[in-house]
Structure 1
């Protein structure tokens, strides 16, 4: 039985920040007491001058394992990297090999994660033309949501066309499931990318022109229409555009059950960043203009954006320049160990984002939307003691070569960035997992967290 009292910290709750001591009993938050109070039989962790936040729930992770591609990332390295960035629950996307389209794919991924992960984990299930009839079973196994690509994907995980998107919605309606979509018009985005490749355009900021804002907006509008017509819950993954945010704000006002995720990179970088980093920073949907970045922050503050997920999915450096043509290179990269630091730096310190709003974006809302609450998502009594100790004013430089990820590189998109705010310790269910650069628990400590309701 672990019994700890985190003494004299600033405790971030969903609607306020309080000075006090956080009490943990057998891996669960037991309560909050006044500063200075000691309890007999409890190990004391002095956190004076530090902030206590609920561990992050990363809603959008690609761990690559199980897969022949796990040389990019696996549950062993990836979970330790997550812990170093304050992530205590990984919600993994279904695009492993084999993908999580059925019970076999699910059980293979679960068994691997249970052997290797040092943080807790939950799973997205798949939504493809191949597995509509398997979605109810995946729900019984505890999957939190079902991911479909409105854009083109790959052979193992094909695009979900309109017919199968609607079929999937009708299926999850039976168990109040959650549909998530990568929202880009497939044909137009593909055409734009091919056109740029053929011309071998050397201004990589034109990625925004190859897959323009209206390609994303059209798909968002289409998905919302289908969801509203079929009365199902919808989750827009990695939304990048101010026009989409404005539309989704109105859809919410009209009581559509739609939730909105963006990623830290869309709040930190604009399209000119590609001129510096090239294909190492290429991702879909693309970065947009600086004006768009600033407008996205407005929707972070007003509540339109519900969650922030990393879209962590690293590649080796040689894979990101393999084709020799930016427009043909793989899209995606790692870096979820920099997510919280980036949001503290740009959101809290630069723009005045409240710590409570930040923890709602990175923990509570994800738990509520994906059915992981009340077990996960806050530091309120009764929740798991997933706690991160943060030095809010620590200034430091991110070094991609020292990341705990399996893929370490000076080409990490965050390499060399100056941050203010750093994770000092990470606790999962009351146990110390990460402590100032060191992993303190055994492989396999992490537990599978099924959808709670």
Structure 2
């Protein structure tokens, strides 16, 4: 029966400020209480998770589901949500680049209807930030969108770049209702010019993607976005930041009182640009992978709190699409892999670098939920929140196989394919119901619910 009472026993709970050996009681899909180990509750089904770690279900703030869209052969809400569940993700925050995009009431309702019929995890939506919709942000806010995404770089004809004048206008409109403006921060002309120049150098090493779209093109856009947010009073979210120079600047901006949230992606903390020689276009993304020195230094800003959130930027392509031009610098940018996100961070962050579990939970759940306006309903294992739980074997050692992913795009070219990982999601619970169990999806299509921004 749905929403029956449950008592999770024998595990350690990752709470916002500590890791605690305790039992966790849930009732009607909500966390009811945290109890001393060994306490029994009559009428509660006992879930024995002895020796495991209970994480708050992940809130992924940066997903491209490709659905609704003619491109949903890459990923759709059925497969994409199941893939998310296998990685401990219980709430997907989907970007607005569907077809049609979420820039008005029609686009919002269409996406919500599709997701409600298909998703097995909960979901929230970014709204669009394009020149044509900057005056529709209040309408999207009323519908429940959590934030508004613009590309300072060139995007695509269906989702045009937000140039500076429109960005200022959008920021002013969002500031009027406390809306969150998110940006892909790269200087458009520098990145485009460099990419076209590199594409003309036939046979150029793929690691030169880092030079085609250089660190200073990213830094300039970050600085410009912060300035515009400062003068308009807007809340700002920097998507997928890759550079230590940007982190240092944003750390200072925060100390100066700018309301800016900083996101990076697991792949920028796990891989450096040499992965492009091994995986080729299958590992290409924007902004680019950077040097190993940059990767190692970026971790300092994970530990000190400058980086607030981890977003997967999950957005797979079919294998043939990633090599259709025969020129690395002309190929599509982006890939999937959020089913390996938590395991990758446990491996590299917790086991290798000593990242505290509660800090990892803040990056992957607590902070995204708070910044996106989904807290207190989402984001922790504290009483009163939805019973969204990832059951993790912290010491399980395994090898990720992209051909067995639950994503619609299964591939040995997956950037995580062949990765040796330590720490594995065994079960995922959404609102008190088991939806993923040791490789098997348990939930029916459409179990997931839309979660609006909390007013």
TM-score category of the 2 structures, normalised to the smaller one = over 0.9
Deviations 1:126-166 (A, max 9, x none): 00001112111000000000000000000110000000000
- Measure the CA separation in 2 of the matches of 1:198 and 1:14: 50
Alpha-carbon distance, 1:173 to partner:
1.0
Aligned to 2:355: 353
Paired position in structure 2 for 1:204:
206
Secondary structure, aligned partner of 1:425? strand
Render the CA deviation track for 1:330-388: whole Å, top value 9, x for unaligned.
00000000000000000000000000000000000011111000000000000000001
Alignment-derived partner of residue 89 in structure 1 = 91
**Which of 310, 316, 326 is matched with 1:308 structurally?**
310
| Structure 1 residue 201 displacement after superposition | 3.9
SS in 1 for 2:393: strand
- Counterpart secondary structure, 1:199: coil
CA distance in 2 between partners of 1:164 and 1:110 (Å): 27
Matched, 1:114 2:116: yes
1:64 to 66, 88, 91: 66
- Cα distance, 1:418 vs structure 2: 0.3
Gaps of at least 5 residues in structure 2 are none
Secondary structure of 2:251's counterpart equals helix
Of 360-369 and 195-204, deviating more is: 195-204
**Corresponding residue for residue 32 of structure 1:** 34
Tell whether the 8 Å contact from 2:198 to 2:204 is kept in structure 1 after alignment: no
**Partner Cα distance (2:377, 2:285) in 1:** 33
- Normalised to the residue count of structure 2, the TM-score between the two structures is 0.99
Q: How does 1:57-206 map to 2 (within 5 A)?
A: 57-206=59-208
Give 3-state SS (helix, strand or coil) of 1:5's partner. Answer: strand
- Determine whether 1:236 maps to 2:254: no
1:87-107: per-residue Cα shift (whole Å, max 9, x none)? 000000000000000000000
Q: String of CA shifts for 1:26-50, please: whole Å, max 9, x gaps.
A: 1101111111111111010001100
Structure-1 residue corresponding to 2:248: 246
Q: Distance in 1 between matches of 2:217 and 2:157?
A: 22
Measured after TM superposition, the shift of residue 232 of structure 1 is 1.0
Question: In structure 2, what is the Cα distance between the partners aligned to 1:105 and 1:195?
Answer: 36
Query: CA offsets per residue over residues 58-81 of structure 1, 9 Å max, x none?
Result: 000000000000000000000000
Distance in 2, Cα, partners of 1:200 & 1:132: 40
Rounded to whole Å, the distance in 2 between the matches of 1:230 and 1:239 is: 22
Displacement over 4 Å in runs of 4+: none
| CA-CA distance at 1:174 after TM superposition | 1.3
Q: For the residues of structure 1 that align with 2:233 and 2:135, how far apart are their CA atoms?
A: 19
How far apart are the structure 2 equivalents of 1:101 and 1:232?
Answer: 19
Separation of aligned partners in 1, 2:97 and 2:198: 27
Counterpart CA distance in 2 for 1:135 and 1:21 is 43
The equivalent of 2:442 in structure 1 is 440
- CA RMSD between the two structures: 0.5
Q: Is the 8 Å Cα contact of residues 90 and 122 (structure 2) preserved in structure 1?
A: yes
In structure 2, distance between residues paired with 1:441 and 1:400: 22
* CA distance in structure 2 between the partners assigned to 1:158 and 1:293 by the alignment: 30
| Equivalent residue number for residue 325 of structure 2 | 323
Q: Deviations over 1:196-230 (max 9, x none)?
A: 00112431000000000000000000000000011
Secondary structure class of the residue paired with 1:390: strand
| Aligned counterparts of 1:382 and 1:200: Cα–Cα separation in 2 | 58
8 Å contact kept, 2:128–2:149: yes
3-state SS, counterpart of residue 193 of structure 1: helix
State which of 385, 388, 391 in structure 2 corresponds to 1:389.
391
Q: Distance in 1 between matches of 2:203 and 2:326?
A: 12
